[in-house]
Chain A
């Protein structure tokens, strides 16, 4: 159980275009989804937290107009990188958290999306 998928797994786009990445929880309802980015050989940096049906909460330094997040249902969240530039090239990973259990904080991660902006 607790499977999270991402689509696409990799994408190459030209500078100035927009790219949408989907994150789906396949076998559970995700009350909260998280978006991270990871640069080579580095750890994960949280970009934003989204709860179904409400606006995303962005971390300090993350431009909300550039990284549009939509969490329209309990199984789907999307991240749109608008007007992408080469510096946006990164590995984007989503995670999903369902109803809180004893541990309460476990997140299940998607396989990631490699974005390359040329």
Chain B
């Protein structure tokens, strides 16, 4: 059973479009991170959210942590080819913060 489900699994869009990636769970997390990974490289941390309902912005990326701390979303405005990559959410379970549980991943392709 996958604790963190991401949707969509794949997303192929044109430059300039907006998109939202969802990260859902039935478990409560003490914090949740979003990463972007490019082929042949390790994941790079984009943001950490720790408070239920928290919204963080990173240029054209907007991250939200659900009120109940069970889900999160990533919204990209006016996507660019440089946004192409694998987006991973990862959470630290409320009752076991020692390790991260990674989501299933969303592969984004932005065409010029």
What residues of chain A have their CB less than 8 Å away from a CB belonging to chain B? 4, 6, 32, 34, 36, 41-46, 49, 91, 93, 95, 102-112, 114
Minimum CB–CB distance for B48 against chain A, Å: 5
Contact B31 A111 (CB under 8 A): no
What residues of chain B have their CB less than 8 Å away from a CB belonging to chain A? 30-31, 33, 35, 40-45, 48, 50, 88, 90, 92, 97-105, 107
Minimum CB–CB distance for B69 against chain A, Å: 13
Given A43-B102, A102-B50, A105-B92, 7 more A-B residue pairs with CB atoms under 8 Å apart are A6-B42, A45-B102, A49-B98, A93-B43, A103-B31, A104-B30, A107-B45
Mind listing 19 A-B residue pairs with CB under 8 Å? A4-B42, A32-B98, A42-B105, A43-B102, A43-B103, A44-B102, A45-B102, A49-B98, A49-B99, A103-B48, A105-B31, A105-B97, A106-B33, A107-B33, A107-B100, A108-B45, A109-B45, A112-B41, A112-B42
A44 to B88, CA, bound (A): 9
Neighbour of B45 across the interface among A6, A44, A46, A106, CB < 8 A:
A106
* Most B Cβ at <10 Å: residue of A4, A6, A95, A103: A103
Minimum CB–CB distance for B30 against chain A, Å: 7
Decide if the interface of chain A is mainly helix, strand, loop or mixed.
strand
Contact A109 B30 (CB under 8 A): no
Neighbour of A46 across the interface among B31, B42, B50, B99, CB < 8 A:
B99
A43 to B101, CA, bound (A): 10
Minimum CB–CB distance for B112 against chain A, Å: 23
- For residue A44, which residues in chain B have a CB less than 8 angstroms away from its CB? 43, 88, 90, 102
A109 to B33, CA, bound (A): 13
Give the residue name and chain of the A residue nearest to B91 (CB).
A105
Minimum CB–CB distance for A4 against chain B, Å: 8
Contact A43 B33 (CB under 8 A): no
Whether A104 contacts B102 in the complex (CB less than 8 A), given A44-B43, A109-B43, A109-B44, comes out as no
A6 to B40, CA, bound (A): 13
A93 to B44, CA, bound (A): 12
Minimum CB–CB distance for A114 against chain B, Å: 7
